[in-house]
Amino acid sequence: MDCIIIGKTIRKYRLEKKLTQAELAAVLNISDKTVSKWENGRGCPDISLIGELCAVLGADITSVLNPTASVPEKRSIAMKNCKFYICPVCGAVLTSTKPAQISCCGHILEPLEAHKAQDEQKLCVEISDGERYVTADHPMTKNDYISFVALCCGESLSISIQYPEWSVSARFIGSGKGTLFWYSKKDGLLYQYC
């Protein structure tokens, strides 16, 4: 448990209920110094108080004890830090969201540097019925093709592997804001917002 995050969550719910620290403490039959200690991250509520605390704050236990589970933007920070790696031997696509040493087929891989796609490089994205359909007007030859298309959206990453001499075609569920990544043998790792 992260007492600092839990404390900030307790404070947020307390303020939403328009309660002072003293008023919350009185309802729970504890001192206002204890509530202050929680909200400043110097301690967490005793397990015997959690049920009553959540009832007073009008919050479920998960949103108080594990607030990052109900705050997608915390997890999406990790996805914004997502790194892509391509194995030069087998062509495998690997990813990490934290610093890592990645190897494949006996080679240590370096993360690819993503570049924002120019207008003429962008993929075509159509949104229909909560799905994204991605296509591209790309030659897709054996020497110049897009090997994968990936959508980073919220706290999820979906990857669609592509093949030379086939048309670029990918389908991703979800229509919220996201970032589309793809790897071109000629242009490297590119991205666009969609």
Give tens-digit pLDDT for 102-158.
Answer: 999 999 999 999 999 999 999 999 988 888 899 999 999 988 999 999 998 877 889
State the sign of the Cα–Cα–Cα–Cα dihedral 125, 180, 145, 165: negative
Within 10 angstroms of residue 70's Cβ, the number of other Cβ atoms is 13
Which position has the token pair 């009185």?
Answer: 26
75-84+113-193 belongs to CATH 2.60.40.730: yes
| CATH code, 3-70 | 1.10.260.40
Within 10 angstroms of residue 116's Cβ, the number of other Cβ atoms is 10
What is d(CA 46, CA 83) in angstroms, rounded to the nearest whole number?
A: 40
Which position has the token pair 């690819």?
Answer: 112
Predicted model pTM? 0.59
- Spans of all domains in the chain: 3-70, 75-84+113-193
Q: Which two tokens stand for residue 39?
A: 């909200």
